[in-house]
Amino acid sequence: MSSLPVTGRLDAMKIMNRRTALVATTLGALLGVTTPGTLAAAAPVPAPAAASGSTASGSGSDGRRGGSGCRPGTLDPTPVQQAIAGLPQADATSAQVRITTPDGCWTGTSGVRDLRSQAPVPPHARFRVGSVTKTFTAVLVLQLAAEGRIDLDAPVQRLLPGLLPADYPTVTVRQLLDHTNGLPSPGVPDGIEWQLAHRYDRWTPEQLVRLGLHHPREFDPGTKQHYTNMGYIVAGMIIEKITGHSYATELDRRIARPLGLRDTYAPGDDPRIRGPHAHGYQTVVRDGRTELVDVTTWSQTFTPAAGNVISSLTDLDTFYTALFAGRMVPPAQLNTMFTLPAVRDVSGGPARYSVGLTAFPLPDGETLWIKTGSRYGYLAGVASTRDGRFRVEYSITGTDAKGEELGATAQRVITAALSLL
């Protein structure tokens, strides 16, 4: 175990090379969040101090039977250990990180399972992966395409008759998956109090589509790119229509069971996280006072097939390793996941989103393929080189996970991990 004071962590961050700092800042822009210009130390959360929450512990081996091995080799995880040391803090109550390089593998945790008990994060803790769900959904669709049951260029109107208005322009399955569909997103109040009051609401995909269609389409399908959930919500409906099974069933049958993923599932209407997990919290200001509200239990029916899956670090590493190695979909379909559409983003920049992944160009010309996600209380991310030699998975229970600014802990983790690339 190791413990590093705040000044030590800041000094360590100062010596990160310019390449890594540039990458972290660019990544924040790519994720649609703001990265703080200076990494200020976060104040501790208003909870009793506990030794279990003040260190960053790690292991070079995965003792779980049947789990993906994580052997330390010569990898020095010090930058990542320092990045997550000292939790809980104001911006995060816990963190889990797994990093694999040609030099070895390291998995570590910091912080507490929950603020009431101050118990440490349980081993193999499950968490909400948010939009990392989209990679799972893309794989399900591509498997069906490989089986000849779905044509990626088939119109949604033919697969789901009546879902879109009769005069709506053609939207293809491929456009759903690479965010070039132009479908409008459902609008609900942004305020946290409204979100908390409606956290147990249950939505159907059809309701979400109808709610979105109250707004005009963003652009003509196939002409631009804009990252939203709506394409994947509709893709989930197509999976269920073609297979005759629920999304959760297909996720389990086609991905989780074949790969031996014991922590990965779609919760459906269940607002809980089953099995071992760390609690998620959200900062709320009420009557001028800042409170942390436990938001662990929350219905995920507002983001079906787009942001609802629950998983663990080991499961994510196993899944992405198998995917990038070509064991989940055949080469023809897998290539679509590493191919960007020939359009511009709505902001005018280049397209960055492929089918189920995000292309993150590095300064040296290499591309890192990433997927990140956030749900209230939880931040998650996966990054890998195309050959899988460098992989990172993380989960952070951020106290403003849906905020516009990337939290200090998340920025430190990203920067530290990339320093080992």
CA–CA dist 36, 372 (Å, integer): 18
Please determine, for residue 418, whether its predicted confidence score (pLDDT) is greater than 60: yes
Give the per-residue pLDDT at 187: 86
DSSP 92-116: EEEEEEEEEETTEEEEEEEEBS-TT
pLDDT digits (tens, 9 = 90+) for 90-105: 999 999 999 999 999 9
CA–CA dist 272, 171 (Å, integer): 34
Q: Report the pLDDT averaged over residues 139-147.
A: 98
Residues 213/164, Cβ–Cβ less than 8 Å: yes
Give the per-residue pLDDT at 212: 96
CA–CA dist 306, 276 (Å, integer): 23
Q: Report the pLDDT averaged over residues 401-421.
A: 93
Alpha helices in 77-201 (DSSP H): 78-84, 133-146, 156-159, 173-177, 192-197
Give the per-residue pLDDT at 18: 46
CA–CA dist 156, 95 (Å, integer): 40
Residues 4/12, Cβ–Cβ less than 8 Å: yes
Across all residues in the chain, what is the average pLDDT? Answer: 88
Q: How confident is the model at residue 215 (pLDDT cuts 50, 70, 90)?
A: very high
pLDDT digits (tens, 9 = 90+) for 230-281: 999 999 999 999 999 999 999 999 999 999 999 999 999 999 999 999 999 9
CA–CA dist 89, 409 (Å, integer): 9
Please determine, for residue 6, whether its predicted confidence score (pLDDT) is greater than 80: no
pLDDT digits (tens, 9 = 90+) for 45-77: 544 333 233 356 666 543 333 345 788 899 999
Among candidate residues 399, 217, 205, the one with its CA nearest the CA of residue 300: 205
Catalytic residues: 131
Range of the domain at 370: 1-421
Please determine, for residue 35, whether its predicted confidence score (pLDDT) is greater than 60: no
CA–CA dist 120, 124 (Å, integer): 12
Please state the domain count of the chain: 1
- Provide the CATH number for the domain around residue 311: 3.40.710.10
CA–CA dist 197, 263 (Å, integer): 29
